[in-house]
Amino acid sequence: MKKELKKNCMSYLFKKVSALLLLVCLCLSTVAGCASKKADDTTLSSQDSGTNSKGMETKEDGSGERKNTKKTDKEAAKPEMNVGLANPYYAPSEDYNTEEYSVIKESGFTSTISNPLSTFAADVDTASYSLMRKKINEGVLPEPDAVRIEEMLNYFNYDYPQPKKEEPFSVTTEISDCPWNKDTQLMLIGLRAEEVDMSEAKPSNLVFLIDVSGSMDAPDKLPLVKKAFLLLTNQLKKGDKISIVTYASGDKVVLKGADGKDKDIINAAIEDLNAGGSTAGSKGIETAYDIAEKNFIEGGNNRVILATDGDLNVGITSEGELTRLISKKKESGIFLSVLGFGEGNIKDNKMQALADNGNGNYSYIDSIYEARKVLVSELGGTCHVVAKDTKFQVEFNPENIKGYRLIGYENRVMESEDFDNDKKDGGEIGSGHTVTVLYEIVPIDSPMEVGKDLKYGDKKKDSSKSSVSDELLTVNIRYKKPDEDTSSLLEYPIKKDSVNDRMSDNMSFASGVAEFGMLLRRSEYAGSSSYDNVLELIGNIKESDDSKDEFKLLVKKAKSIDTGSDSKKDDNDNR
């Protein structure tokens, strides 16, 4: 009897344990299935939202801004989610790359019959080049919309002649065969601004407007900001007025109107800055401009220098609202310099909008070396304006030029009638700055077709214009002196004899930079462009410098990254 009872108990326990084990297995299998479905849904969502050639998800919102939701390199290095039984609850990080860049619609070819005028504002920003450099050095190619070819061109110094007396800048033009299109020619327009002797420069009224919000708490953000401003402080002199305004959840006046000779006081205020809180940037802008106006120096250099990642999330935050705010503030006669820092959440579109609409310039600081370049070596160009509201208008002669394409400057294009309108804002050119412009032009005898003939267009030649039949085009430039509101006009006719069989060093290097930019942008106008061709063009120059030598290395790295990604794609296609 006892043996039978014991046997029944053992049987009952065995059944219960078996049932319990089966239930556990079913639960674990369900969890694994959910995780797998989540991964599949994520993949489908990525396909629905659209991905670019690099596997990077891009979404475009109503403002025309492209948001990049690619994971950061740090996240990419993490192990993938294990949907097996060993670790069913492991979940991927929710932190994504939220960088924002304005969408660039690349300029195409325009017929000179339908529109012989090309009008745009000057631009001396260089942020795009530094951003591109940081990405390539990290082993990835930049987003196409982060590549602004004009900013890449203008990052470098060119051997343009010094301006003549009483002129704010010299103008150089050159035309040669286009390296990537056998049916077109390439035209270079180069400006070189007069250089101010910094020892004789007028006193400065500077307001350091520094973002100390929580998003700036990273080694390449606030710590680098502090190092950059400490470099700038060393360049100050007696009579300069320095104020410091910070903003996070609110704004704070840290220093007001200190004399440039009091470097210890200024440095101490910078060193004490710490990051934390949300980002009420618009409030900080208001306060900074108010202080700049109170300390305004007549005839001096009055400027707000904004250091931020652009991630504004309190108060006025949209690009449109910020543009309207800064457009009002520029009427005070105070200029703006925007310094971008960091990555992962950088809002390039907002910082560019602030600089373009605030009588300013925009640089991206990715290292202490770039900080030294912008705030020490090129301080005059960054902070001392020699010509404001500078605009270009190139008039092409339809008798000799069939069509043209402006390379870059897409966000600076203006209506033709805005060229003569002094109320329309142009670009600011600082001391010693060089501005480089490239056009791809279609000669009248080229087999390339550009547009179509107008049905009602007057194709008869006007005998009264026979005197300009040897002119290819005329470069017109308008500018204002820093303390004036009426513009002056400069005109430079370009004749057929300007075409050269061989490129100068300036033209060869600039064309190489433009070709590299088109490769990064995946431009439909890249033609026969290649990394090897870029290296040949920039390798032809006789004299180089550190920046140009660095550029050669970046081209080689980009080639390796690009060809590597193509090889991986081919491997996947063959599987």
Q: Delineate the domains of the chain, giving CATH numbers in brackets.
A: 110-194+388-447+469-506 (no CATH), 198-383 (3.40.50.410)
> Residue 420: is its pLDDT beyond 50?
yes
Angle (nearest 5°) at CA 142 between 408 and 107: 20
Q: How confident is the model at residue 271 (pLDDT cuts 50, 70, 90)?
A: very high
Q: How confident is the model at residue 92 (pLDDT cuts 50, 70, 90)?
A: very low
What percent of the chain shows pLDDT beyond 70?
76
Contact assessment for residue 340 and residue 311, using Cβ atoms and an 8 Å cutoff = no
pTM, to two decimals:
0.80
Q: What is the pLDDT of residues 113-138, one digit of tens each?
A: 999 999 999 999 999 999 999 999 99
Contact assessment for residue 205 and residue 296, using Cβ atoms and an 8 Å cutoff = yes
DSSP code per residue over 344-380: SS-BHHHHHHHHHHTTEEEEE--SHHHHHIIIIITHH
The predicted model gives 79-104 an average pLDDT of 52
In this structure, what DSSP letter does residue 76 have? H
Long-range contacts (CB closer than 8 Å, 24 or more residues apart) made by 459-463: 461/399
Average pLDDT, the chain: 83
Residue scoring higher pLDDT (162 or 78): 162
Burial class (CB within 10 angstroms; exposed 0-12, middle 13-18, buried 19+) of 452: exposed
Token pair of 497 as six digits? 């004899």
> Measured between alpha carbons, how far is residue 45 from residues 35, 41, 94, 261 in Å?
15, 6, 15, 58
pLDDT reported for residue 165 = 82
d(CA 164, CA 386): 14
Written as one letter, the residue type at 400 is: N
Q: What is the pLDDT of residues 169-221, one digit of tens each?
A: 999 999 999 999 999 999 999 999 998 888 788 899 999 999 999 889 999 99
The most distant pair of C-alpha atoms in the chain lies apart, rounded to whole Å, by 130
pLDDT reported for residue 251 = 86
Q: What is the pLDDT of residues 464-514, one digit of tens each?
A: 444 568 999 999 999 999 889 999 999 999 999 999 999 999 999 999 999
Burial class (CB within 10 angstroms; exposed 0-12, middle 13-18, buried 19+) of 295: middle
